[in-house]
Structure 1
Amino acid sequence: MKKLSIIDKFIYFINTLLALALLVSYLLPYISPEKFPFLAILSLFVPALIIINSLFVLYWLIKLKKQLLLSTLILAVGWSFNSSLIQFSGKELSNKKGLSIMSYNVRMFNRWKWIDNDSIGKNIINFVKSKDADIVLFQEYYILEKEKLDYEYKYIKTQKKDNKTGLAIYSKYPIINKGSLNLENTSNNIIFIDIVKEKDTVRIYNFHLQSLQLNTNEENFGQENSEKLIARLKESFKIQAEQTKVFLEHEKAWKGKKIVAGDFNNTSYSWIYNQIANDKKDTFLEAGKGFGKTFNYWFPLRIDFILTDRNTSVNSYQSFQKQQNSDHFPILTNISF
């Protein structure tokens, strides 16, 4: 440190703090938010921590300083952990016999005019039609009167009987069973259908876990709102943990093929994801490319997922980040059993 300038010493101090924060984050998949909800908040910032530590490595490398070893070693320790952030190769295999699945949080088709555009609902429906997925899962769904999807089979579960908001699954294949986990004390939920494709019966779960209520139009992490935000996030993560346990118990009863998808409202660095994704393939990690960002925020947040059985082949994966019709981006995958 003797050869460092005062400015570089300060930069290295910040580097040390953020490198240690990244190191601690490697433990997050194994720590339940019910026990340490404050630590769970860190899972949202892991993508930013990885990027910042990579920039520190570049900074010290340019200056030819041994201080680059700190972030380099910590990034190396969590290499498999960090690979969830970005994929370089991707995969695009055409398979007409495969099953294509889209998941899309449509934010009630802009029902409350978050976006100043009266064509949002029509835009979303037209986009979904253009992709022609076999299965479409909607979160924050709202029953539209004009725009319709031409699917023979569907399951729509609203929050209440007289309500138009909830979750929906559209299918080209016959639905032989359907149900809802009816999560308590929340407007969020998990629903499922069982479809028949050729000789296979496949269960498909549609997730919308407890919302974090991150506002894409405001600086949530500003000083003015920080205390309320932290308190809300802590409570949300605890509720998510409870909801995850409900799902895990329900999942045990199903021994056949399955797909688990939707809006987890949490990242792949969290305990929530680690529990749900156990013994499953993440289609982004198998066939995605780039950051796979699914939430329109100021740093890469991937909180929407499509997970499949271990013995499934993932042929392709896409995240449509040019679709600015919701605060989420639609994701689409093609799989073969």
Structure 2
Amino acid sequence: MKKLSFLNKIVFFFNSIAATILLLSYILPFVAPKNFSILSVLSLGVPFLIIINVLFFLYWLLKIKKQFFLSFVVLTIGYLSFGSLYKFSSKKEVSKANSLTVMNYNVRLFNLYNWIEEANTNIKLIDFIKEKAPDVVSFQEYHPNKNIDLSFFKYKFEKLTGNKIKFGQAIFSQYPIINSGSVAFPNTSNNAIFVDIVKQKDTIRIYNVHLQSLKLDTKVETISQEESERLVKRIGKSFIMQQKQTELFLKHKKECKYKVVVTGDFNNTAFSYVYKEIKEGLQDAFKVAGNGFGRTFDFKFFPTRIDFILVDKSFVVEAFKTFDVHYSDHFPVMATLSFLEN
């Protein structure tokens, strides 16, 4: 430190803070929100902290200063524990005849209230799905109306709520649905639904999980107007609800005897407690075959991945794609799966 200039000493001071907070965040997936709800809020900022530490690492490396070791060590610990925030390559797509393609999409009521000013967004969204032709698609914030034509799917299951405006979750499938149902989450319109589909001789359960929304305005100028203490407490309460919802879902999933695919909007990141719990025993399709940051939520300042496709280990994840289409505040994701040969 004695050999550093005054400016570099200030830089290293902030570097030390960023590295310490990132290191602290690595324990969050192992800490139940109901025990430390305020601390769990930090999981939302982990992607930002990783990027900041990468910048500090490059800063010191270019200056050929040994201070680069601080962020390098913290980033390495994170990589060994959670994998890379950025995926550099993905697998190639396979013949659809021997595969199952599953899409997940939070469609935000098909732009019912014109959040996106572009005309005919709802029609473009449906045309996009029709073009990509997934075998199964899970919708969160689904709203059926006369302009939404999904009749190119043969089977569907919807779970809706509301009086004047019906909304909820839905799963559409090209394969027969032999069983369906929902997992009720108390005191909220969020829930989990499921269908059992039959492909050839295999029965596969598809879950669609929508955990408690944070109702967080992604515009930083709006966030700054709200008292930070109130904001953190509100998000912390949502995280506690997410934990309880996750426990209800996992209790239901434990009784399932079929191969499982879990899709959904978790309203939390891959560095969270709920993600770790739900992912237990499953593969994250993005981590296996994805590419880039895998951003699924339209937040301007750092990549946020809160929508997931998690699959049974009896599947091979052949391909994974995040589509950069702006028909909602979420981006659709799709995985191509095949079965392990016996």
TM-score bracket, normalised by the shorter chain, equals over 0.9
Say whether residues 1:219 and 2:231 are aligned partners.
Answer: no
Q: Give how far 1:256 is off.
A: 1.4
Q: In structure 1, how many angstroms separate the alpha carbons of the residues matched to 2:276 and 2:204?
A: 22
Quote the sequence identity (%).
49
2:311 to 296, 308, 312: 308
Q: In structure 2, how many angstroms separate the alpha carbons of the residues matched to 1:163 and 1:81?
A: 44
Cα distance change of structure 1 residues 270 and 331 upon mapping to structure 2, 3 Å threshold: same
Q: In structure 1, how many angstroms separate the alpha carbons of the residues matched to 2:274 and 2:43?
A: 10
Q: Give how far 1:232 is off.
A: 1.6
Aligned pairs (5 A) from 1:322-337: 323-337=325-339
Q: Give how far 1:77 is off.
A: 1.6
Say whether residues 1:320 and 2:341 are aligned partners.
Answer: no
Say whether residues 1:23 and 2:23 are aligned partners.
Answer: yes
Q: In structure 1, how many angstroms separate the alpha carbons of the residues matched to 2:223 and 2:327?
A: 24
Q: In structure 2, how many angstroms separate the alpha carbons of the residues matched to 1:13 and 1:223?
A: 28
Q: Give how far 1:115 is off.
A: 1.5
Q: TM-score, normalised by structure 2?
A: 0.95
**Equivalent position of 2:13 in the other structure:** 13
1:177 to 159, 168, 179: 179
Q: In structure 1, how many angstroms separate the alpha carbons of the residues matched to 2:34 and 2:243?
A: 7
**Equivalent position of 2:65 in the other structure:** 65
Letter in structure 1 aligned against 2:278:
I
State the SS of the aligned residue for 1:53.
helix
Write the deviation string for residues 216-241 of structure 1: whole angstroms up to 9, x where unpaired: 34535425442332122111100000
Q: TM-score, normalised by structure 1?
A: 0.96
**Equivalent position of 1:95 in the other structure:** 95
Q: In structure 2, how many angstroms separate the alpha carbons of the residues matched to 1:189 and 1:330?
A: 19
Which shows bigger deviation, 154-163 or 252-261?
A: 154-163
Aligned pairs (5 A) from 1:157-176: 157-160=159-162, 163-176=165-178
Cα distance change of structure 1 residues 270 and 220 upon mapping to structure 2, 3 Å threshold: farther
Which shows bigger deviation, 309-318 or 111-120?
A: 111-120
**How many correspondences in the alignment?**
336
In structure 1, stretches of 5+ residues that fail to align are none
In structure 2, stretches of 5+ residues that fail to align are none
Say whether residues 1:74 and 2:74 are aligned partners.
Answer: yes
State the SS of the aligned residue for 1:177.
strand
CA contact (8 A) 1:283 1:307 kept: yes
Cα distance change of structure 1 residues 119 and 296 upon mapping to structure 2, 3 Å threshold: same
**Equivalent position of 1:146 in the other structure:** 147
1:269 to 271, 276, 284: 271
CA contact (8 A) 2:217 2:223 kept: no
CA contact (8 A) 1:75 1:82 kept: no
